[in-house]
Amino acid sequence: MPEIVTAALVREGQVLLVHRSPNKPAYPNVWGLAGGHIDAGETELAALAREVHEELGVQIATGSAIHLCRLDIGRAEESVRLSAWIVSEWEGTPTNAAPDEHDEIRWFQPEKLPPLAHEPVRTALMEAMRGTRA
C-alpha cells in the first residue's frame, strides 16, 4: 500500500494549508496539508522533511513533529495510507514552492478551517490545536 505523509505547519495558533490545483488528478481544487509519497527506504519523518522542503521551501525541525493521525484512504488496490503530522518549528518562510501542485497557500485559525481533502485530518487537527491553546 502506498504511503503518504502530510504536515500541518502551526504558528501563533494558525495552521498553514495548501490549495490543490484544479488540474490535479487526485483531490483537485480542495484545501489540504503539504506532503506527498514516502519513497522506498525513507522514514516518515525523512519524507515529511523532504516533501515540506519541496512544496513550501522550508526546513522543518523533525524533532518538533508530533504525530496527528493515520488513515487508510480509498478502496482495494487504490488505497493509500496517510500519516499527518503537526510541525511547530522550521527554518525559512513558507512559500508556494510547487505551483504546479498548489495554486495557493494560506494561514487559517482552527475555527475558520475550510473543508479539507480528508475530513478526519481536519477533525484531528482542530482537536489538537484546541488542546495547545488551552
Q: Is residue 125 part of a domain?
A: no
Give kind and range of the element (H or E) at residue 71. Answer: strand 66-73
Q: Is 90 left (phi over 0), alpha (psi -120 to 50) or beta?
A: beta
Mean pLDDT in order along the chain per 10 residues (134 residues): 94 95 86 95 96 97 94 83 96 96 94 89 90 51
Nearest-angstrom CA–CA distance, 40 and 47: 10
Any domain includes 119: no
pLDDT digits (tens, 9 = 90+) for 72-99: 988 777 789 999 999 999 999 999 999 9
Q: What's the mean pLDDT when you consider all of the chain? A: 92
Number of domains in the chain: 1
Q: Give domain status of residue 9, yes or no.
A: yes
Residue pair 35/24 in contact (Cβ under 8 Å)? The answer is no
Give the range of the structural domain holding residue 67, as residue numbers without chain letter: 3-110
C-alpha cell at 52: 515540506
CA angle 125, 118, 132 (to 5 degrees): 0
CATH number at residue 39: 3.90.79.10
